[in-house]
Amino acid sequence: MMHRACNRKLYFNSKKMMTRLFFLAIIFVTSLSPVNAQESNIDAKLLLTQVDDNIWSNTKFIQGRLIIDNGRTVRTLSVDNWMEGVERSYSHYTAPARERGTKMLKADKKLWMYTPRADRTILIAGHLLRQSMMGSDLSYEDMSEDKRLSRVYDAKVEKMETLDGVLCAVLLLTSLEEDTNYQTRRLWVDPEKKIILKQYLYAKSGKLLKTVEFKDYFKTSGRLFPREMIYRDLLKENTKTTYSFDEIQFDVEIPPEYFSQSILKR
Amino acid sequence: MIAKLAWIQFLRQGARAWLNVAVTGLTLVTLIFMTSLLNGFQLQASKNLKSTDVGGGHYRLPDFDILSPTEWEDQTFSPPPFLKNLSDTEKAEVLVLQGQLFPNRRLYPVQLRGIDLKQKLLDLPLEPLSRQENGNEYIPVIIGTRMSERSRLQKGDSAVLRWRDRLGVIDARDAKVIEVADFLNPRVDEGVVWLSLDRLRIMTRREGEVSWVTVTHNLGSDKHLEFLEPATLMSDILNLLKQDRRNAKVLWAILLFLAGTSVYNSQILNVFKRQKEIGAMMAFGMESRTIIGLYTLEGTISGFGAIFFAFIFGVPFYYWFQSVGLDISHLSASTMPVRERIFLDFHFSEMLWITLIMLSVVIFSAWRPVQKIARLEPTVALRGKGL
């Protein structure tokens, strides 16, 4: 009698277990298959081009602030930035007082910097462009670089991943050119809005060097643009640089003298 | 006769004369000591610089400047055959590039120095690198004691090393300190991370390239390269020592002034106290010129006596000093390429010059006060009221 009752109990338990497993499998398959389907449906190269199309324009004007946090102190620099293509950019620092009037002109792979306190223009040649800009987590190169990622990198979708509640395609970018600073990047892209939410920058060896977070996208001139980009140099401790965009205009007409050395005067 | 008379009169001065000799002799010993000590300092600094960095000179590109790190990357070259074919004892190939070390996640800009580990020209304690040349797990590096202190990295510690290759591509890997070496020369220690030349070339895609080739001597000119003599490469230290020598001249002048004053003072006293004697000499028909000569010679004897004193006292003193040296370990934290003890380095020509200069000062100091004798009237002098 006792034995029969035990067997019945076991029978019911195993049946219950099987039912549970069946439902779990259904949940697992239903939750994964759309993602997998979505992952296989995404054309990484096309998505990257669409991302570029959203964010990239021939000319750009940005009014923003660079908030440099070196772990001990926080400095805020206000800067107006005019960019044309990949090669030319002009920045004018408007605050704080000690940086006010500082101007930077990048043209022909050279950077000129004008400091009003010394009333002098200094040429920051080739390799100096790679140094940290004003103690931030960005190099002069990072700051003035505006390459179309789709032209420089080959992309493939690694996986789909949810980031801050948004289902993102994780794109692995491998450089097509031998001389690209970062040979590998990893992007978290919202395939719906064609925007980057996060970016990882890697060394040639594969070591993760920097992260960039793109925050609070807003609509401007029919495009989506982040209000903030937060750079973190992961080799340093507790540092971050926030590039906060207050105003942005695409395809603006920039007077030619903005990219001439004559602009570098008081 | 004059010389004999001068010698007798010198002896009659007694303690005053011997004090003059002692003061002037000690001055001479001190002057030679100071000069030879600076020579010794320079000798050791040059020797250390040559054995660890400078060698017998460098072949570099004309625009290479060690003080412009941002341009190092553009100033590398492949050694021409006349340098390439030199043996390991005749050359040391060095590649210098910029890097960034992150000990405990703090940024530390460094100079990446790759050196051919087979070279035997420079005396650098880098042997442990050759034992780990083939490992790929991490980059084996050696740093100096000063660098270790500043970066707080010890043997066995790891830190991320970031650099750029020839095309500007950023790369980073873990570097492990396999040895903290005691470099005598701060130039090859502070801010310098040593690694194998082959490894640095692979890391930066600079196959066969160097920043300079250290050689034993000038091997002739090359149309693309410039040969820098050791004196040019050590010019900062040599200029510093030159400045030190200039500063030492102030002390020189003070010591010579003191020696001269002691002789001058004795001579004034001699002339004043011995007026009657001078008057008698004049009365017996001795010309004032001869008397001046006699008194000058008397004063000059203390100069020669000083040379003798310096020899008797100086030789054992220098001999003893050479056995103990001067402890300058307090300078080990400075940028001077010297450590522990320095010894005197005597140059015969310098010693001769010092002696002649001192003798000239003594002769002048002996001659100048006795000029008054020429104005003395014998009758007045005999009464002791001439001066």
For the segment A41-56, what is each residue's pLDDT rounded down to a tens digit? Answer: 889 999 999 999 998 8
What pLDDT does B330 receive? 75
Shortest distance between the Cα of A89 and any Cα of chain B, in A, equals 20
A154, A119: one domain: yes
Please judge whether A126 and B70 are an interchain contact, meaning their C-beta atoms are less than 8 angstroms apart.
Answer: yes
Is the pTM higher than 0.80? The answer reads: no
Cα B373 versus chain centre, distance: 47
B88, B221: one domain: yes
A17, A68: one domain: no
B110, B215: one domain: yes
Please judge whether A209 and B167 are an interchain contact, meaning their C-beta atoms are less than 8 angstroms apart.
Answer: no
Please judge whether B105 and A183 are an interchain contact, meaning their C-beta atoms are less than 8 angstroms apart.
Answer: no
Mean pLDDT of A171-179: 94
Mean pLDDT of A104-132: 81
B47, B64: one domain: no
Please judge whether A205 and B171 are an interchain contact, meaning their C-beta atoms are less than 8 angstroms apart.
Answer: yes
SS3 category, B352: helix
On whether any CB of chain B is under 8 Å from the CB of A180, the answer is yes
A220, A257: one domain: yes
B262, B369: one domain: yes
Which of B202, B228, B254 terminates a domain? The answer is: B228
What pLDDT does B2 receive? 78
Alpha-helix runs per DSSP H in B50-84: 81-84
Q: Give B220: exposed, middle or buried? Use CB within 10 Å, 0-12, 13-18, 19+.
A: exposed
Kindly indicate the confidence band of residue A20, based on its pLDDT and cuts at 50, 70 and 90.
low
A20, A139: one domain: no
Residues of B in contact with A207 (CB under 8 A): 160, 172-173
What pLDDT does B282 receive? 83
A91, A199: one domain: yes
| Residue among A127, A179, A205 minimizing CB distance to B167 | A179
B336, B360: one domain: yes
Between A and B, how many CB-CB pairs are < 8 A? 60
A24, A56: one domain: no
Look up the domain containing A127 and give its range. Answer: 44-263
- Sign of the C-alpha dihedral, residues B201, B207, B210, B213? positive
Residue A37 has pLDDT above 60, yes or no: no
Kindly indicate the confidence band of residue A63, based on its pLDDT and cuts at 50, 70 and 90.
very high
SS3 category, A95: strand
Spell out where chain A has E strands: 59-69, 74-84, 88-95, 103-107, 110-115, 120-124, 153-163, 166-175, 184-190, 195-202, 208-220, 223-233, 240-250
Look up the domain containing B310 and give its range. Answer: 2-51+236-382
Dist CA B331 CA B337 (whole Å): 9
Q: Scanning every residue of chain B, which has its alpha carbon at the shortest distance from the alpha carbon of A203?
A: B171
Dist CA B197 CA A208 (whole Å): 26
Kindly indicate the confidence band of residue A9, based on its pLDDT and cuts at 50, 70 and 90.
low
A108, A10: one domain: no
A58, A79: one domain: yes
Residue A40 has pLDDT above 80, yes or no: no
B222, B254: one domain: no
Any residues with CB less than 8 A from the CB of B296 and at least 6 apart, and which?
Answer: B363, B366, B367, B370
B132, B278: one domain: no
Does B387 fall in a domain? no
Which of B197, B228, B259 terminates a domain? The answer is: B228
Looking at the 3D structure of chain B, how many domains does it have? 2
A17, A115: one domain: no
On whether any CB of chain B is under 8 Å from the CB of A165, the answer is no
Dist CA B312 CA B320 (whole Å): 13
Instruction: Report CA-CA distances (Å) from A70 to A102, A244, B150, B204.
Output: 21, 17, 20, 29
Looking at the 3D structure of chain A, how many domains does it have? 2
Higher pLDDT, A155 or A106: A155
Q: Could you tell me the CATH number of the domain that includes residue A160?
A: 2.50.20.10
On whether any CB of chain B is under 8 Å from the CB of A127, the answer is yes
Shortest distance between the Cα of A75 and any Cα of chain B, in A, equals 19
Best interface-test mutation with B: which of A207, A210, A234 has the largest number of B CBs within 10 A? Answer: A207
SS3 category, B181: strand
Shortest distance between the Cα of B132 and any Cα of chain A, in A, equals 20
pLDDT per residue, tens digit, chain B (387 aa), is 778 888 888 888 888 888 889 989 999 999 999 999 999 988 988 999 999 999 999 999 999 998 888 788 889 999 999 999 999 999 999 999 999 999 988 889 899 999 999 999 999 999 999 887 777 789 999 999 999 999 999 999 999 999 999 998 999 999 999 999 998 888 999 999 999 999 999 999 999 999 999 999 999 989 899 999 999 999 988 898 889 888 888 988 999 998 899 888 888 888 888 888 888 888 888 888 888 888 889 888 988 999 999 999 999 999 999 999 998 877 766 777 777 788 999 999 999 999 999 999 999 998 888 887 777 777 877 777 766
B121, B217: one domain: yes
Residues of A in contact with B102 (CB under 8 A): 235-236
